[in-house]
Structure 1
Amino acid sequence: MEISGTTEQMLNRMIVGSWVTQAIYVAAEIGIADLLAGGPRTADELAWETGAHGASLYRVLRALASIDVFREDEAGRFSLTPVGKLLASDAPGSKRSLARMAGAEFYRSWGGLLSSVETGAAAFDKVFGTPFFHYMSANPDRWRIYDDAMTGIHDSETVPVLDAYDFAPFRTIVDVGGGNGLALAAVLRRHPMARGVLFDLPPVAERAREVVGGCDVSDRCDFVGGDFFDSVPSSGDAYLLRHVIHDWDDGEAVAILRNCRDAMRRGGKVLVVETVIPSG
């Protein structure tokens, strides 16, 4: 089989994709997009503001400019592109926290993929010496970044989910593993006759209480901390699991779904929102 130059280049880009991940991570970690939101700056100016090494930072910024994350002008000043704007902390649907996780914990755990394939055990557990959510519980600052990262992913899908599925028949919607509660708040805002229950690990549920507390739907939302392997709040007629099931093996996934089934009212539904790989 003859391999074309285009095919080879495509594979090369795949093989070295981690380089891009790390370059974006560096820019996100030291807050480059937040600084550039105030206007164009040179690499030396950015290095002074971040405490970075100027020449090294310049190389990273030029690499990112080559893939349209930033833009460099003739005076050597960098500015934000539409892609780069998404790395700003206050951007709608910001990807900064996702980049900070992707270049740190996620990056290291993907390095253990071979071990997972050989043993069937979770790579994160091997690399960090503890399961993912135990690690997060012990590192609340990282959990906040992770929660923000998941919000950046889920925000973009909330409206399509609401448009695609009719929540109107439900009076009590339990968001299992609901994170900061903003997605549940969006559901309640769309359906003013419904009540919601945000269920997650205790520290996450408390943060959700703070986040949703100032929203216009806070009087229709309860916040419950717990472990969905033990039980979930009862008497809901819809149990929403957004990007929860994929975190667990088949046996654990069945346990979560069974707990939802056992807790729901007769005729209730379990609604699963997941990213699915096409067949074939």
Structure 2
Amino acid sequence: MNPSPPHPAQLIVDLGFGFILSGALATATELGVADHLARGPQSPAELAKAIGADASALFRVLRLLASVGVFIEDAEGRFGLTPAAELLRSQVPNSLRDAVLMLTQKIFWAPTGELTQTVRTGQTPFDRIFGQPFFDYLTSDAAAGATFHRGMSSLSDLENGLIARSYDFNPFQRVVDVGGGHGGFLIEVLQSTPTLQGVLFDHPHVLAGSRLATAGLAARCEHAEGDFFQAVTPGADVYVLKRILHDWNDEVCVNILRNCRNAMASHGRVLVIDTVIPPGNAPHGGKVLDVMMLASLPGRERTEAEFRKLLAEAGLQLSRTLSTPTALSITEAIAA
């Protein structure tokens, strides 16, 4: 039986207070509360002593988080882990600790606070707040960049296998993961399709962190240095663009897609792996992510019709869109 929806007035109030929950979650995560509770429930005083915090303030933050299922308070006033809180531990499979620290850092928080001006002008305030565009800032601020890349890897590791197994790569011989980072998705693709050869394409400083050799796939995959704004490795059957196009405006996306179209074999495919926003009023992760992109980056999440238009301008034709068990879909394109 589904719970009754909140009263309209309560819904508005709860949404208005949403940033408080984000702040509380970020604080508990940064202080490592979940790691300290791995040994069992502890009182706020015990926790505060261990992490160097004020016991009363810590209690109030944990009480709030317990009310929404992150941590649980027992009859003795001790706090313990819930299944959600387990994901905030640093050394567990599928940990989301790095993802929380990324999503709640100032590169997203500060521009969202000026969303009204963004809606008025259509321009992100990111450059003005931080003095340079998003990716330039991550390059210049080593700490922010490290937090971002760890967080993205954390989120990607949850989804990579599910997405890779949602597409049949068996008919193909060579796949290029364009802007593929440290190779997390390509590892899953190669492991699911033993006959496939791979190319991890990215900037040299990114490829330095490649995980392909550690995964035992060095013999089946090469590293290719380059800039996808200029060109990509030619001659492959499949070009993957996972979480790439949503970072950029339409003009830039058409350029990236055209570079893939020019490089691919005649029978090739381009796979765009991003959210595809469905019609209607139902909740969808892409709608939240789209407003975050609006605030901080020049990109956006797109509908199927918007992807079809981009692909056509790049000399490609949308052949099908495949759902996956994640928030992302696979939009497949062939030569027009």
Scaled by the length of structure 2, what TM-score is found? 0.77
> Residue in 2 aligned with 1:235?
235
> Residue in 2 aligned with 1:269?
269
- 1:34 and 2:11 are equivalent in the alignment: no
Judge conservation of contact 2:29–2:88 (CA < 8 Å) in 1: yes
- Once the two structures are aligned, what percentage of the paired residues are identical? 41
CA distance in 2, matches of 1:35, 1:219: 41
CA distance in 1, matches of 2:236, 2:247: 23
1:16 CA drift (Å): 1.3
CA distance in 2, matches of 1:177, 1:50: 38
- 1:106 and 2:108 are equivalent in the alignment: yes
> Residue in 1 aligned with 2:44?
43
Spell out the pairing of 1:211-230 with structure 2 (5 A cutoff): 211-230=211-230
CA distance in 2, matches of 1:53, 1:145: 26
Q: Which runs of 4+ in 1 moved over 6 A?
A: none
CA distance in 2, matches of 1:228, 1:123: 26
For 1:57, what is the secondary structure of its paired residue?
helix
- Read off the aligned partner of 2:54 and give its amino acid letter: H
Q: Unaligned regions of 5+ residues in structure 1, if any?
A: none
1:166 CA drift (Å): 0.5
Judge conservation of contact 2:234–2:263 (CA < 8 Å) in 1: yes
**1:208-248 CA distances to partner (integer Å, 9 max, x unpaired)?**
2xx33211223212223332112222222111111111111
CA distance in 1, matches of 2:81, 2:257: 44
CA distance in 1, matches of 2:245, 2:60: 40
> Residue in 2 aligned with 1:90?
91
For 1:212, what is the secondary structure of its paired residue?
coil
1:109 CA drift (Å): 2.3
Judge conservation of contact 1:180–1:207 (CA < 8 Å) in 2: yes
Tell me the matched-pair count.
275
Go from structure 1 to structure 2 and tell me whether the alpha carbon gap of 1:202 and 1:137 turns closer, same or farther (over 3 Å shift).
farther
Go from structure 1 to structure 2 and tell me whether the alpha carbon gap of 1:19 and 1:277 turns closer, same or farther (over 3 Å shift).
same
- Read off the aligned partner of 2:226 and give its amino acid letter: G
When structure 1 is superposed on structure 2, of 254-263 and 147-156 the one drifting more is 147-156
- Read off the aligned partner of 1:14 and give its amino acid letter: L
Go from structure 1 to structure 2 and tell me whether the alpha carbon gap of 1:143 and 1:267 turns closer, same or farther (over 3 Å shift).
same
Judge conservation of contact 1:177–1:199 (CA < 8 Å) in 2: yes
- Read off the aligned partner of 1:88 and give its amino acid letter: R
Judge conservation of contact 2:165–2:192 (CA < 8 Å) in 1: no
> Residue in 1 aligned with 2:244?
244
When structure 1 is superposed on structure 2, of 166-175 and 216-225 the one drifting more is 216-225
For 1:215, what is the secondary structure of its paired residue?
coil
1:45 CA drift (Å): 2.1
CA distance in 2, matches of 1:44, 1:212: 45
- Read off the aligned partner of 2:197 and give its amino acid letter: R
1:5 CA drift (Å): 6.5
> Residue in 1 aligned with 2:206?
204
Go from structure 1 to structure 2 and tell me whether the alpha carbon gap of 1:220 and 1:64 turns closer, same or farther (over 3 Å shift).
same
> Residue in 2 aligned with 1:55?
56
1:207 CA drift (Å): 1.1
> Residue in 1 aligned with 2:150?
148
The partner residue of 1:177 within 176, 179, 185 is: 179
CA distance in 1, matches of 2:226, 2:115: 30
1:275 CA drift (Å): 1.3
Scaled by the length of structure 1, what TM-score is found? 0.91
Q: Which has the higher helix share?
A: 1
Q: Unaligned regions of 5+ residues in structure 2, if any?
A: 281-336
* Two-structure CA RMSD over aligned residues (Å): 1.8
> Residue in 2 aligned with 1:73?
74
